[in-house]
Structures are given as structure tokens and as C-alpha cells.
């Protein structure tokens, strides 16, 4: 049965009157999950570099980056608003601005909607309409579909993985080009990369997710068997898809660069996934999580070397 959380568990006190301006600014920055937003921005830039016939113009990169950060920050803020009750129940999220009473729900909603509107204006006026529409679709998928689904079904990870990969398509669209096969492959890499990454997180915090009423795969199957199997299968698919851009760069040498990065870092990711699947425990989950955080920047480095050298 679906776990429920009473509304009485939500903190309702206003922010402390003694909060300084810097503390409130820090609380708003926390709403955006800045480190995640910056990683999303990097995938946007890499995709733009892959799609453009020449390196994208400074204007496209500048305004596209501003719009991308705004829409990512808005989505993360609204995600925190919708999950404020479950965040209050989980130690890993209890210090966020809403459950810790550093911001009110009204302030978060105003911030989230304002950032969304501003992002659409920036992308629509200074980049192009297609990028703005894709950005709104990404926001809707993440905020209005993925976030509520986390309380209803373990397939929320699949939906979240699509939302996490859509900034790649936004990067390609920002250049005004059609989306090339190599960028679709990069979209696939982002999609499949998220599963081992999130399986590790879901295992580490399975008890907290259960307490918060979130239906992660490790809550539905606390043995970790299904999470381990999913990590391995998606990592194998990731490696296959990550090799595709090697066939669409301008020379055999550049293709070899992509292939080497894909196989080396993908092999290391697969090894960590296999270890987690064989022995699902906190130690193997931590190793898988660390490996996932290394994989993405290293693979993108290979792509950029192939595109820009």
C-alpha cells in the first residue's frame, strides 16, 4: 500500500526573523541545487558544441546558459516545494530551506514561477522558440509528472531519466541545427547513466525513502536484487550507446578518442555496477555512486576533445 504522510508533519513556522540577508540568499541558492544545475548546464554546452557546424556563437552560449540555469533552478525549487513534507521526514533532506523553516512555501513558489517565466523569456527572445518549448516540456516532465510519481510508483526513475537527459536536446536546438545522430546518442548516454547512479542513491537511503513515502525500487524490493540488475543492464546499454558518436566525428583519430573514453570509463562504471549487483550493500553502493560521478565528466571530456581538436 502507498505510504502517506500527514500534512501535520510539515513545518509551518515562518523564517526566523533574525535571518541575515546572506543567509536568505544562501537559502535561495540551495533551492536551485546549484551543483546539479551546473552539471545540467555543462551537458547543454557539450550538446551545442556537438550539434553546431562550427563552435556555437558566444551569444547562443551566453543566453542559452542563462536560460538553462534559470529553468533548472526553477524545476529544482518547485521539486523541493512539492516534496517538502517527505523532505521533513528524511534526515538527508531535513536541512533544506523549507523543512528547516528558512523560507516559506509562498516564497519558494514565487521564486520558482518567476525563474520559469524569466527562462522562457530569455530562451525565446535571445536563443529560439524551439529551445524555449523544449525547456518548458522539460520543466513539466520533471515538476508535474516525475515529482508526484515518486510517491506512486518505482517507475518514476524512468521518467526522471528522460527529464534529466532533455537538456542535451535543448543544447542542440539552441544552435538552430537539426538534432544530429551523435547528439541523440548523447541523450541516450545521459538517460542510461542515471540508472546506476540513482540505484546507488536509492540503496543508500532506502530506509529514509520508505519513511518519506517515496516509492523507489529499493523500497519496493529491499533485497537490492532488482536495483542491481537494473544497474548492470542499463550500464551495458550505456556503453553501447556511448560508442555511437565515434562514427560521426570528422576523422578516424577523433572516433578513436571517443571510443577509448567510452570503453575505459564505461568499463569502470560496469565493474562497479556488477559489484553492486553481486553484493548490494552500503560499501558497493558508495563505490557505484563515486564511479557514476566520475563517468559523466570524463566521457564529456572525450566528446569535447573529439569535437574541438
Give the pLDDT of residue 44. 95
Check if the beta carbon of residue 187 is closer than 8 Å to that of residue 165.
yes
3-state helix, strand, coil in the chain (%, to 5): 75, 0, 25
Give the pLDDT of residue 239. 98
Q: 108: which 3 cell numbers? A: 519558494
Does residue 178 carry a pLDDT above 90? no
- Measured between alpha carbons, how far is 139 from 187 in angstroms, rounded to an integer? 17
Does residue 6 carry a pLDDT above 80? no
DSSP state for residue 142 in the 8-state scheme: I
For the chain, percent of residues with pLDDT exceeding 90: 84
Give the pLDDT of residue 308. 74
- Measured between alpha carbons, how far is 60 from 50 in angstroms, rounded to an integer? 14
DSSP state for residue 146 in the 8-state scheme: I
Whether residue 192 is found in the same domain as residue 299:
yes
Does residue 32 carry a pLDDT above 50? yes
Nearest to 174 by CA among 166, 163, 162: 166
In this structure, is residue 224 part of a structural domain? yes
- Measured between alpha carbons, how far is 163 from 167 in angstroms, rounded to an integer? 8
Whether residue 56 is found in the same domain as residue 142:
yes
In this structure, is residue 105 part of a structural domain? yes
Does residue 214 carry a pLDDT above 60? yes
Mean pLDDT of 118-134: 97
Q: 232: which 3 cell numbers? A: 548492470
Of residues 108 and 11, more confidently modeled: 108
- Measured between alpha carbons, how far is 123 from 159 in angstroms, rounded to an integer? 24
Mean pLDDT of 11-26: 65
Torsion of CA 4, 7, 13, 15, to 10 degrees: 50
Average confidence score pLDDT of the chain = 91
- Measured between alpha carbons, how far is 221 from 203 in angstroms, rounded to an integer? 10
Q: Which of 177, 196, 230 is the last residue of a domain?
A: 177
Lowest pLDDT segment from 4-13, 43-52, 256-265: 4-13
Domain encompassing residue 286: 180-309
Give the pLDDT of residue 69. 96
Cα→Cα distances 292→7, 50, 166, 269, 306, Å: 35, 22, 19, 7, 22
Lowest pLDDT segment from 19-23, 34-38, 58-62: 19-23
In this structure, is residue 12 part of a structural domain? no
- Measured between alpha carbons, how far is 273 from 227 in angstroms, rounded to an integer? 10
Provide the domain count of the chain: 2
Lowest pLDDT segment from 18-27, 97-106, 242-251: 18-27
pLDDT band at 53 (very low <50, low <70, confident <90, very high): confident
What digits encode the pLDDT tens for the residues 183-210? Answer: 999 999 999 999 999 999 999 999 999 9
Whether residue 248 is found in the same domain as residue 108:
no
Give the pLDDT of residue 19. 67
Whether residue 40 is found in the same domain as residue 162:
yes
pLDDT band at 18 (very low <50, low <70, confident <90, very high): very low
Does residue 3 carry a pLDDT above 80? no
Query: Phi first, then psi: what are they for 176, rounded to 5°?
Result: 80, 5
- Measured between alpha carbons, how far is 174 from 123 in angstroms, rounded to an integer? 9
Give the pLDDT of residue 1. 39
In this structure, what CATH number is given to the domain that contains residue 272? 1.20.120
Cα→Cα distances 41→34, 69, 73, 121, 130, Å: 10, 7, 11, 18, 17
Amino acid at each position: 500500500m502507498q505510504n502517506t504522510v500527514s500534512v501535520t508533519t510539515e513545518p509551518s513556522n515562518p523564517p526566523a526573523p533574525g535571518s541575515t540577508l546572506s543567509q536568505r540568499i544562501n537559502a535561495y541558492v540551495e533551492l536551485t541545487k546549484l551543483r546539479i544545475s551546473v552539471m545540467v548546464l555543462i551537458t547543454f554546452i557539450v550538446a551545442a558544441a556537438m550539434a553546431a557546424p562550427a563552435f556555437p556563437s558566444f551569444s547562443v552560449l551566453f543566453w542559452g546558459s542563462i536560460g538553462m540555469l534559470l529553468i533548472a533552478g526553477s524545476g529544482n525549487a518547485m521539486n523541493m516545494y512539492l516534496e517538502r513534507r517527505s523532505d521533513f521526514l528524511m534526515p538527508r533532506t531535513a536541512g533544506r530551506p523549507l523543512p528547516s523553516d528558512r523560507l516559506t512555501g509562498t516564497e519558494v513558489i514565487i521564486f520558482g514561477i518567476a525563474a520559469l517565466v524569466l527562462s522562457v523569456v530569455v530562451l525565446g527572445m535571445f536563443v529560439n522558440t524551439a529551445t524555449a518549448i523544449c525547456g518548458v516540456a522539460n520543466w513539466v516532465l520533471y515538476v508535474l509528472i516525475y515529482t508526484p510519481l515518486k510517491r506512486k510508483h518505482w517507475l518514476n526513475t524512468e521518467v526522471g531519466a528522460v527529464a534529466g537527459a532533455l537538456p542535451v536536446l535543448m543544447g542542440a536546438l539552441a544552435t538552430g541545427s537539426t538534432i544530429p545522430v551523435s547528439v541523440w546518442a548523447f541523450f541516450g548516454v545521459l538517460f542510461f547513466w542515471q540508472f546506476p547512479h540513482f540505484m546507488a542513491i536509492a540503496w543508500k537511503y532506502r530506509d529514509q525513502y520508505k519513511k518519506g513515502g517515496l516509492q523507489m525500487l529499493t523500497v519496493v524490493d529491499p533485497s537490492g536484487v532488482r536495483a542491481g540488475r537494473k544497474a548492470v543492464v542499463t550500464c551495458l546499454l550505456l556503453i553501447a550507446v556511448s560508442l555511437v558518436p565515434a562514427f560521426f566525428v570528422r576523422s578516424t583519430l577523433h572516433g578513436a578518442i571517443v571510443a577509448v573514453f567510452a570503453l575505459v570509463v564505461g568499463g569502470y562504471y560496469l565493474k562497479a555496477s556488477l559489484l553492486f549487483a553481486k553484493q548490494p550493500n552500503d560499501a558497493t553502493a558508495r563505490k557505484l555512486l563515486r564511479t557514476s560521478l566520475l563517468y559523466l565528466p570524463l566521457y564529456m571530456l572525450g566528446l569535447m576533445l573529439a569535437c574541438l581538436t
